[in-house]
Amino acid sequence: MTAEAPNLVAGEERPAATGAWLERSRPADGSPLCRVARSGAEDAAAAVAAARDAQPAWGARTAVERGNVVRAIAELLRERREEASALVAEETGKPLALAQGETDAAIEMGFFVAGEGRRSYGRTTTASMPHRTVLTLRRPVGVAALLISFNTPLPNVAWKAFPAILCGNASVLKPSEHTPLSATWLGRLCLEAGLPPGVLNVVQGLGPEAGMPLVEDPRVDLVSFTGSARTGGLVAEACGRRLAKAVLELGGKNALVVCDDADLDRAVEWTVASAFSNAGQRCAAASRVVVLEAAYDAFVERLLAVVDALDDIGPVISEESMERILDAVAAARGAGAIVLRGGDRVGDAGWHVAPTLVEGVASDAPLSCQELFGPVAALYRARDFDEAVAVVNDSPYGLTAAIHTASVHRAMLFAERVAAGVVVVNAGTHGSEPHMGFGGVKASGTGWKEAGVEALDAYSETQYVNLVVDPMAV
């Protein structure tokens, strides 16, 4: 029997109202994987109605109780770690060990968020009038639409759904059409762990058909979106028209800088992990590697040796994605770039792109500016530190940046001068953890952070309470 990814509305599994399905195949070999409910406006509206119904009672529970439910979800996910990881490995094609690491990251996010139910700290302050105290309380935003990318399916849900649940919201999750199975699976698991029906609903389908109706629905108070800058712009526009709160976590064109005083073996190791793990499908992937002139030849020689010995990095998510990536590399080659490694498909089953390294690309060429979301990194020579910083900043994006250097002075100057939400010294361009806020500047985001206690600011509203005490009434 073909696997199915139905919607989950008010605790019930449902096909799309029209009965339409999308077919989905396995990225690893192109074989049929499942069919996905092809939802539309009617399905989105039903899910929002279910969330609206469920929210008041959920929001009235204490944050401690809500945190306990998030903990129960994390515990159940830990019990089912192998099942979850196998499902993700199958629907994305990524190596099982990588999928297991992602399941662990989602579980850790659950435990971190659960603990926040017992903190949920606010502030108290004074006022200009006597006998007055001002304090802050967190209030739920209401109903949230959560739209996510395919790249790390379980953490992508965990980063949004867990803080949304903790803060007393009810949500409608629109997973990527490429990774529908793990989303419905996690929705069911939440119910089993004790989350009331309707607090987390799942609407499957394509972005414009199933996602945009959620974004435009006036009953949705908060839209939290993780995806490309292009789609993020459309979401922001729709939210702007109706003045809805919009949290946007977008793309990156992250740079890793290798200085002439760096430990080159270590820099190579982190470059390969940053550029090629998850087949480069990370918002924080290093797609630009900037090397100081004095270290360039030695670094590239070692880098090529390690890339030549790389194991399978897994496929990219779809045939269209593979074609788009290969076309971009071919166009760069046509414009004079040198493709040192890769640039072609591996095998003829599934959507595998060879780890690709390109040099001789201008910093304003399309390959330097457009996020490819694949295993492609461009190498740049920089005369000195100042030029390296200039190349890093010559980008529409500002998500993460890394530097390899033995000098703490250079490292701190780098952090001061680069426009990036996250700066890493002597490691990769990714590596966030549940307790660390994550988000970018410029076209990478609009200022809200995910994860960390900062996520609570996205999923709650801060209310200021002025408390006047009447001494005469004592």
Contact between 250 and ligand NAD (CB under 6 A)? yes
- Say if residues 239 and 212 touch (Cβ distance below 8 Å): no
- Shortest Å, Cβ 373 to ligand NAD: 5
How much helix, strand and coil, in percent to the nearest 5, is found in the chain?
A: 45, 25, 35
CA 294/CA 272 separation, integer angstroms: 20
Q: Which of 20/413 has CB closer to ligand NAD?
A: 20
Query: Could you give the string, one character per residue 341-380, with x where binding to ligand NAD holds by CB under 6 A and - elsewhere?
Result: ------------------------------x-x-------
Contact between 136 and ligand NAD (CB under 6 A)? no
Residue nearest to ligand NAD (CB): 207
Contact between 153 and ligand NAD (CB under 6 A)? no
Contact between 299 and ligand NAD (CB under 6 A)? no
The residues assigned a catalytic role are 249, 283
Query: Could you give the string, one character per residue 205-244, with x where binding to ligand NAD holds by CB under 6 A and - elsewhere?
Result: -xxx--xx--x----------xxx--x--xx---------
- Say if residues 141 and 461 touch (Cβ distance below 8 Å): yes
Q: Which of 138/174 has CB closer to ligand NAD?
A: 174
Q: Which of 249, 288, 296, 404 touches ligand NAD (CB under 6 A)?
A: 249
Number of residues that bind ligand NAD (CB under 6 A): 28
Q: How many CB atoms lie within 10 A of CB 446?
A: 16
User: Which residue in this structure is represented by tokens 């946007």?
Assistant: 248
Q: Which of 193/322 has CB closer to ligand NAD?
A: 322
Near ligand NAD by CB under 6 A, which window of 50-58, 131-139, 148-156, 386-394?
Answer: 148-156
CA 456/CA 460 separation, integer angstroms: 6
- Say if residues 317 and 25 touch (Cβ distance below 8 Å): no
What is the per-residue DSSP string for 326-362? HHHHHHHHHTT-EEEE--SB-SSSS--B--EEEES--
Q: Indicate if the alpha-carbon torsion angle 387, 389, 390, 395 is positive or negative.
A: positive
Q: Which of 55, 149, 182, 368 touches ligand NAD (CB under 6 A)?
A: 149
CA 195/CA 52 separation, integer angstroms: 15
Contacting residues toward ligand NAD, per CB under 6 A: 147-151, 174, 176-177, 206-208, 211-212, 215, 226-228, 231, 234-235, 249-252, 283, 371, 373, 450
